[in-house]
Structure 1
Amino acid sequence: MDIEQKLYYQDAYIHTFPAHIVKQEQDEQGLWYVVLDQTAFYPTGGGQPYDQGSIADRKVFNVEEKEGEIRHYLETPLQEIEGIKEGRVDWERRFDHMQQHCGQHILSAAFDQLFKYKTVGFHLGAETLTIDLETETLTEHEVKRAEELANKIILENRQIEVKWVTEEELSQYALRKETKVKEDIRLVIIPNFDYNGCGGTHPKTTGEVSAIKILNWERQKKKIRLQFVCGHRVIKQLEKKQKVLLELTKLLNAPEKEMEAAVIRLIENGKALEKVLELARENLLQYEAKNLLAKSEDSHQIVGEVFQNRTIQELQKLARLITAENDQVLVFFVSTNEGRLQLVCARGAAREENMKALVGEILPKINGKGGGNESFAQGGGDAHLPAEETLELILAHLK
């Protein structure tokens, strides 16, 4: 499609437009699309997502440029394709993309001018944007300076110019990065600040971007990925975070200024309680081990028990406490956990039975897997045998 037919390049503010249907077809996936003789719908490209809207009251859910034509994908095909049809662009979505895309230009130019950090990646998501900066480190001070400069450019409400130039004319402009295309080159210019080749849609002035707020950054391989928002998304982020903050002030019973201290206290108290709880668990396990060991005196130095919903780690610790206390004892535990059987078999140092071999005999009968050594082994499998029957099976194999 010729540039003259791409109305979004003539005027990014067009909401509605008339057009004729050139053709209506299905793609390889069976999705219906129409091609128009002119369009204000922006197709996916240059990091900017596609426009949505409607054509003759049919919802447009995707727009792509393929094989030299712009395809407008419709939820249902048009029954009548003759005559003039009205295209209507979802303006809220379009203007949001204009704010975000222009804001990205401004922020990238700020990092470039201040620190020579080039932008080598850009993604415009549904809620936030990211740019990848060609640096391995980024300080909070640098982030603050770049954000301040970007918002200063916005506040100055500078005019944004768009020019179509030839490859030969590019030398007249101090481009922030080299252009990929070699003909029909479109420059988006913020005078005395940023000169950049771009095929996306942008507002007429920097003031329409409203604001830029950097949210976070992290290292990605040898680059820094920076997350931010522009325009109305700044307000949305503030609303979301303010709602969370207000809820936290109620839950923590602390004013906003004391929130950090309240959270730190809560975390420290939680850690202290965890230590107390862990000590209590250890004492209970030791008490339980002594009780189970007392039973073994009446059963030829064998501790065999069935449990419900005990973790394998807990059973292992309990078995080790028992065998450490009495080197003549054998320990066999079976636990049922959410439709699974778990086994722990252990022997005291003075015994010679092979626990690994014993577990290896039992696991095939419950379709299980496990491992260990001659003195301590464990495994798990399907609970199609009752835990009591499995324990009896272990004792029978032992004999």
Structure 2
Amino acid sequence: MNQKLYYSDAYQQSFTAQIIKQDYDSEGNLYVTLTETTFYPTGGGQPHDTGTLNDISVINVEEVNDEIRHFISSELHTKEVIGKINWQRRFDHMQQHTAQHILSAAFWDHFNIPTIAFHLGKETITIDLDTPELTLETANTALQIANQIVFENHPIHIRWMNLEEARQLPLRKEPTITEDIRVVIIENYDYNGCGGTHPKYTGEVGPIHIIGWERNKGGIRLSFVAGWRALKLMGHHQQIIKDISRQLNSGADDIPNKVTHLLASHKENEKTLQAMNEKLLFVEVNELLQQSKKVAAGTLIAKVFTNRSMQEIAKLSAIITEQNENSITYFVTENEEKLQCILACGKAVTANMNTILKNALPTIEGKGGGNQKSARGGGKAVITGEEFSALLIHLSQEQFEMKYKG
């Protein structure tokens, strides 16, 4: 353990060491091992430190085969190096990791909810709680207890012990090793086997803030932040509230009522707009009916639209074919580099819309389908909408002629 300076002093930010080995791993990544180091390697849910060795960037740190590998951006050409860790990153990890200990202990001690997994991400931290449900009251109470421990500024001790000694303590989890067990003790509160870095007092963790939670694999995954991350998030949220207050011309306390009123108004406006759109569709239907042509199979209405949604042209088609049992609609819409279409007919028409569509789609490398009365599909705009519409008409004529001859 002597080479792991982060265990003897988590606050040490620089050190001098000798290079033991400089090599490439199996994936071609350059790394060095040192006589000692304050760089923490990824492990136990905590990410690695970053920093420099003789001003060369350390981009990753891993413990492989009992050696700590410092992955660097370029070769070192000296035997001795001066290492400096990114202290802001290290202290952030110390805050978040210790906050996890504190919050997990609150859930376990007061609600008998154990933590079964922990992940320290770049933006948030998550713990997986072994419970199918989590109420707002339980989460808020656990959070209040956790922050109380922070404010009480409990000392944090690190002790190395064997299995027999460890079993004398109320550890959260049975150790998996028998010697060199590292126990993080939050005085009068928590005892936890852990290999991460931690501050000397809980007060250094700063405020803990729960962001939210969701169901995950039968349990609950809870997201939170602590320390400087919590302050940054709170400041961000405060700015959002200020911006919304300014836009709504109201105080922060009035935002919920204002939003409720706006949503209600929006729903009413949507209903009004939908009703107006329905009226416009019927106007458009009348205009389309005036363009209809008599064909052998019935009354055909063929139309090519530009940047029109399939939902809208399907409504037009449905209105026409439901009101006119002899009608046939071939509607094609050109949307950027795509052609889409819907073919439909009234109940008195004997032509098969699905067959006509299936015969036309290969021309545009398309896909689609339906039934005898209605079919839709789309493909690439390798021909114009007008050309594709003409193809549909031609195919329908062929189908009717074949049926007639039959």
Coarse TM-score class (shorter-chain normalised): over 0.9
Q: How much does 1:298 deviate?
A: 6.5
Deviation >3 Å, runs of 4+: 297-300
What is the distance in 2 between the residues matched to 1:297 and 1:72? Answer: 78
Q: 1:210 to 1:398 in 2, by over 3 A?
A: closer
What is the distance in 2 between the residues matched to 1:179 and 1:274? Answer: 61
**Identical aligned pairs, as a percentage?**
46
What is the distance in 2 between the residues matched to 1:335 and 1:115? Answer: 59
Q: How much does 1:182 deviate?
A: 2.7
Q: Which residue of 1 aligns with 2:135?
A: 139
Deviation track 1:224-253 (CA, whole Å, cap 9, x = no partner) reads: 111111111111111111111111112222
Read off the aligned partner of 1:195 and give its amino acid letter: Y
Q: Which residue of 1 aligns with 2:400?
A: none
What is the distance in 2 between the residues matched to 1:172 and 1:222? Answer: 33
1:253 to 249, 253, 257: 249
Deviation track 1:240-273 (CA, whole Å, cap 9, x = no partner) reads: 1111111111222221010111111222221111
What is the distance in 1 between the residues matched to 2:207 and 2:384? Answer: 65
Deviation track 1:177-202 (CA, whole Å, cap 9, x = no partner) reads: 22223321000011221111000011
Deviation track 1:257-293 (CA, whole Å, cap 9, x = no partner) reads: 1011111122222111111111111111111112211
Does 207-216 or 43-52 show the bigger shift?
A: 207-216
- How do 1:9-158 and structure 2 match up within 5 A? 9-78=7-76, 80-82=77-79, 84-158=80-154
Q: How much does 1:391 deviate?
A: 1.4
What is the distance in 1 between the residues matched to 2:36 and 2:105? Answer: 33
1:322 to 313, 320, 331: 320
SS state of the match for residue 295, structure 1? coil
Read off the aligned partner of 1:9 and give its amino acid letter: Y
- How do 1:254-273 and structure 2 match up within 5 A? 254-273=250-269
What is the distance in 1 between the residues matched to 2:174 and 2:383? Answer: 70
What is the distance in 2 between the residues matched to 1:141 and 1:360? Answer: 58
Q: Which residue of 2 aligns with 1:204?
A: 200
What is the distance in 2 between the residues matched to 1:347 and 1:145? Answer: 63
Q: How much does 1:398 deviate?
A: 2.1
SS state of the match for residue 130, structure 1? strand
What is the distance in 1 between the residues matched to 2:258 and 2:105? Answer: 40
Q: Which residue of 1 aligns with 2:382?
A: 384
SS state of the match for residue 365, structure 1? helix
Q: Which residue of 1 aligns with 2:342?
A: 344
What is the distance in 2 between the residues matched to 1:88 and 1:22? Answer: 18
What is the distance in 2 between the residues matched to 1:148 and 1:344? Answer: 59
TM-score by length of 1: 0.96
What is the distance in 2 between the residues matched to 1:392 and 1:117? Answer: 68
Contact 2:61 2:71 (8 Å CA) reproduced: yes
What is the distance in 1 between the residues matched to 2:149 and 2:372? Answer: 73
Q: How much does 1:396 deviate?
A: 1.7
What is the distance in 2 between the residues matched to 1:222 and 1:366? Answer: 47
What is the distance in 2 between the residues matched to 1:351 and 1:149? Answer: 73
Verify: 1:162 aligned to 2:158, yes or no.
yes
Aligned length: 395
What is the distance in 1 between the residues matched to 2:55 and 2:335? Answer: 56
SS state of the match for residue 172, structure 1? coil
RMSD: 1.4
Contact 2:163 2:175 (8 Å CA) reproduced: no
SS state of the match for residue 395, structure 1? helix
Contact 2:332 2:385 (8 Å CA) reproduced: yes
Q: Which residue of 1 aligns with 2:401?
A: none
Read off the aligned partner of 1:173 and give its amino acid letter: L
Q: Which residue of 2 aligns with 1:364?
A: 362
Q: Which residue of 1 aligns with 2:373?
A: 375
What is the distance in 2 between the residues matched to 1:147 and 1:361? Answer: 65
Q: How much does 1:33 deviate?
A: 0.8
Does 36-45 or 376-385 show the bigger shift?
A: 376-385
What is the distance in 2 between the residues matched to 1:331 and 1:68? Answer: 74
- How do 1:154-303 and structure 2 match up within 5 A? 154-296=150-292, 301-303=299-301
What is the distance in 2 between the residues matched to 1:57 and 1:182? Answer: 40
Contact 2:125 2:223 (8 Å CA) reproduced: yes
SS state of the match for residue 167, structure 2? helix
Q: How much does 1:75 deviate?
A: 1.1
What is the distance in 2 between the residues matched to 1:76 and 1:122? Answer: 33
What is the distance in 1 between the residues matched to 2:123 and 2:364? Answer: 49
Contact 2:293 2:301 (8 Å CA) reproduced: no
Q: How much does 1:389 deviate?
A: 1.4
Read off the aligned partner of 1:149 and give its amino acid letter: I
Read off the aligned partner of 1:390 and give its amino acid letter: F
Read off the aligned partner of 1:383 and give its amino acid letter: A
Q: 1:223 to 1:298 in 2, by over 3 A?
A: closer
Read off the aligned partner of 2:264 and give its amino acid letter: E
What is the distance in 2 between the residues matched to 1:132 and 1:397? Answer: 60
